């Protein structure tokens, strides 16, 4: 891609945007990379990035004028080679899943897969696939980072509810329930992570959990 003079449009960049953005993909504009190692000061680096940012947005606006696609332009520079990642910001809609709902879907997949015959336990690769869908994207893609942050927030939210439920069931305060959960020996529970644990294993794990969260061992909730 050859960069044109000021005020001119680079057809190659317009073509890249037109091909990727309508399908929800990001553009890695390698020809517009701003390599941090080529600049002696942060001020020089920031100035060059602003110039590239302005150039990209000019072409984005041109595509909007031509009605090639819609959306707001988002740009994130890769921290190492400095390649700008260009993508359309996604607007939240009333039909979108919340962070908690996405987290519950993942928790459900984790639990179901562990105890369903023939299912493969949820692995990191599977988790990433659930988040990104069928599309293969760069691990630095800002959309992936944003989605990971969203689902992680949801997982923390759902974990908070689980601790509250545990506290209510045991009669302990939430902080005491969390403390005991954190210090609890996981050994008996690990035996349940395999499919179809025998009755004696379940009974032993149940007794272990009941003893851990017995109210007589710590402060009761008023």
- Domain-wise residue ranges, the chain: 11-88, 99-217
Q: How far apart are CA 135 and CA 105, in angstroms?
A: 19
Mean predicted confidence (pLDDT) in 56-76: 92
Q: Tokens standing for 214?
A: 């017995």
**What pLDDT, on a 0 to 100 scale, did the predictor assign at position 2?**
47
Mean predicted confidence (pLDDT) in 181-209: 87
111 vs 153 pLDDT, higher one: 153
**What pLDDT, on a 0 to 100 scale, did the predictor assign at position 217?**
46
Q: What's the whole-model pTM score?
A: 0.49
Q: Band of the pLDDT at 150, cuts 50, 70, 90?
A: confident
Least trusted range by pLDDT, from 10-14, 138-142, 159-163, 215-219: 215-219
| Residue 108 pLDDT > 60 | yes
**Of 78, 84, 65, nearest to 18 (Cα)?**
65
Q: Band of the pLDDT at 134, cuts 50, 70, 90?
A: low
Q: How far apart are CA 77 and CA 83, in angstroms?
A: 6
Token match 């691990």: residue? 139
Side by side, the strands of the sheet bearing 73-77 are 27-28, 84-88, 73-77
Angle at 67 between CA 72 and CA 141, to 5 degrees: 35
**What pLDDT, on a 0 to 100 scale, did the predictor assign at position 14?**
94
Cα distances (angstroms) measured from residue 44 to each of 37, 71, 74, 102: 11, 30, 22, 41
């Amino acid at each position: 891609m050859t960069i044109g003079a000021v005020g001119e449009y680079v057809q190659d960049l317009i073509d890249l945007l037109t091909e990727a953005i309508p399908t929800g993909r990001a553009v890695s504009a390698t020809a517009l990379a701003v390599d941090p190692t080529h600049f002696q000061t942060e001020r020089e680096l920031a100035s060059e990035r602003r110039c590239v940012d302005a150039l990209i947005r000019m072409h984005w606006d041109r595509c909007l004028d031509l009605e090639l696609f819609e959306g707001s332009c988002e740009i994130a520079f890769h921290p190492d080679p400095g390649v700008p990642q260009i993508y359309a910001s996604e607007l939240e809609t009333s039909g979108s899943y919340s962070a908690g709902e996405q987290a519950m879907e993942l928790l459900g997949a984790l639990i179901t897969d562990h105890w369903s015959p023939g299912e493969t336990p949820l692995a990191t690769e599977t988790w990433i696939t659930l988040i990104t869908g069928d599309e293969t994207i760069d691990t630095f893609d800002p959309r992936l980072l944003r989605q990971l942050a969203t689902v992680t927030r949801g997982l923390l939210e759902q974990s908070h509810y689980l601790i509250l439920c545990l506290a209510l069931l045991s009669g302990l305060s939430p902080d005491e329930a969390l403390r005991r959960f954190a210090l609890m020996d996981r050994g008996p529970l690990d035996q349940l992570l395999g499919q179809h644990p025998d009755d004696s294993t379940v009974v032993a794990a149940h007794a272990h959990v009941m003893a851990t969260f017995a109210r007589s061992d710590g402060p009761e909730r008023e």
